[in-house]
Structure 1
C-alpha cells in the first residue's frame, strides 16, 4: 500500500473512531464518515467492504491501544497485589486521558458482546481483553490478596469504569476499587 493510500485509510479510521465514539455504531452512516474524513463514500468501500468491517477495525485498534496501556507495566510488576493496583490505576488513567476511546468502549461494549456473530472479530478481541484481566485477578485470588470478590466480578467492575459519566468521580472510584478488590492497601 502506498503512503498516500495508507494516509487515506488512516484518515477514514480516525474519522470513524471519532464519530462512533460520539454517536455510536447505529448513529453513524458511511456518508457521515465520508464527510468527516473528506473522502468519497465509494473510497471508504475500497478500503472497508462494509460499515461492520470498518467498525471492527476501529474497535480492535481501540482495544489494542487499551492493552498497550494496561499490560506492559502490569506484567513487569513483581507482586500480584502491585500488579492489580497498577492495573486499576492504568485503567482509570486510560479512561481519564483517552476519553474518546473510553467513550467508544463504554458506548459499544454491549453491542459487541450481544452481536457476536456479525462482529465476531471485535467480540473476540474484547473477550480476549476480559480474559487477560480475569487471569490477573485469578492469580490475586490464588495468592490471597483479593478481598472476598470473584475474579470475574472484579473483571466486570474494572471493565466498566469507562461508563462513569462524570470524570470528576473517576479518581475516587480508583480508591474505591482498590479498597473493594485488594485486601490491604498496597504502597509503592
Structure 2
C-alpha cells in the first residue's frame, strides 16, 4: 500500500508527498487516530532524506491522504453525517440534494481563508430534535477537525478554523431564531 499526502494551505497552495514503505506508512496512519489534535498548534512536520518541511497548522486548510487502503477505522464520523469530496466529474453535473424525513443529502461547499474551496456531498440521518439539528449547523466551525472521504479513495482532514464560510445546498429549513432571511443577489 502506498499513500499520497497533500497539504493544502490557506495560501491556496498544495504540497504533495508520497510514501510507499509500509513501515513508514504505519506511523502516518496511526496519527489519524489523534486527528482531533492535528490543528491544535503544534507544527506539522514532513521529512525525507532530501529535506524537511514544517507547516504552521494555523495556515493549513486541509490534509488529504489518498490511498487504496481502507482508512475508515481511523476516522470518527463527524456528527451524524458523512462528507465526501466531489470528483471533477460530479462538479459538472447539477446537484440533486434531498431532505426527506430522517435522511438528507446536501452539497456543502467549504470556503477557506486564502481562496481554497472544498466541494462535498453530505449524507446522513437528521436528528429528531430541532435543538440538535441547530447545534449541528452552528457548531460546525467550532470542531477541532472535520474529516471527509476522497472520491479516489482515502480521507481528508479539514481545519475548521481556516474556514471563512460554508454554503449548504439545498437551503436548511431549520435555522436559528437569530438567522437573517434574505435571498442572494
Please say which structure displays the higher CA radius of gyration.
1
Larger helix fraction of residues: 1
What TM-score do the two structures reach when normalised by structure 2?
Answer: 0.30
Larger strand fraction of residues: 2
